[in-house]
Amino acid sequence: MRSRSLSWIAGLVVLLLPACSGSGSAAAGTGTPADEQAIRAIAPAYAAAFSKHDAKAMAALSTEDYEDVDAMGVHTQGRAGIEANMGKQFTMMPANLAMTTTTTFVKFLSPTSAVAGGTWQTTPAMAGQPDKGAWLGVVVKKDTTWLMASSLGAAAMPDMAMPDTTKPKGK
């Protein structure tokens, strides 16, 4: 019985070893230059839709089962949730509020999934609201279109005051 169990475990190890070694398929974690370009285009399209206060266009950039936590900590689920949440938020925002974004990196997890991240900024600044920060998202390829499946937005940390090093330490 013990011999049979060890044989089964050894067989499992042999099957799983290529997956763990990283040499199984170098292409598994890569995408094409066109894929990367399409992923990098999501953030500026999101910013353009935000700047137009177009909640429907923002939602169209996401999967049906999208999950998000924004810089204010609001959790949004689904494409319909994005449209409803952003539509509500736009009624409370100045008409001239605009967003810009950058995509700093794209890391492919597979030919149809990747992680991307960058920065965002809104202008003009609104009192009591973050006006810049960072974002991180998981994107997936559905048919031929890359869509945001999940994201997290974080407000930029305020600048920290540097200690005064000209004063003597001690008493």
Q: Is the pLDDT of residue 11 over 90?
A: no
**Residue 58 belongs to some domain of the structure:** yes
Tokens 């935000």 locate to 50
Buried b (16+ CB within 10 A) or exposed e, 9-47: eeeeeeeeeeeeeeeeeeeeeebeeebbebbbebbeebb
pLDDT of residue 103: 96
Check if the beta carbon of residue 59 is closer than 8 Å to that of residue 83: yes
Of 41, 45, 39, whose CA–CA distance to 57 is shortest? 45
Residue with tokens 């409803």: 84
Q: Is the pLDDT of residue 20 over 60?
A: no
The torsion region of residue 128 among left (phi > 0), alpha (psi -120 to 50) and beta comes to: left
CB burial of residue 161 (10 Å; 0-12, 13-18, 19+): exposed
Q: Is residue 78 part of a domain?
A: yes
Number of domains in the chain: 1
User: Is 21 a domain residue?
Assistant: no
Instruction: Output the pLDDT for position 39.
Output: 98
Query: What are the Cα distances from residue 78, in Å, to 39, 60, 61, 153, 160?
Result: 19, 11, 11, 16, 37
- Residue 142 placed within a domain: yes
Residue 53, domain extent: 27-155
Residue 22: inside a domain: no
| pLDDT for res 28 | 52
pLDDT at 30: 85
pLDDT higher at 161 or 49: 49
Which residue type, as a one-letter code, is found at position 107? Answer: K
Q: Is residue 170 assigned to a domain?
A: no
Query: Which pLDDT does position 153 carry in this prediction?
Result: 87
The answer to whether residue 50 sits within a structural domain is yes
CATH code, domain with 116: 3.10.450.50
For residues 166 and 105, the model is more confident at 105
- The side-by-side arrangement of strands in the sheet containing 145-155 is 75-77, 62-69, 145-155, 132-142, 113-123, 98-110
Q: Is residue 105 part of a domain?
A: yes
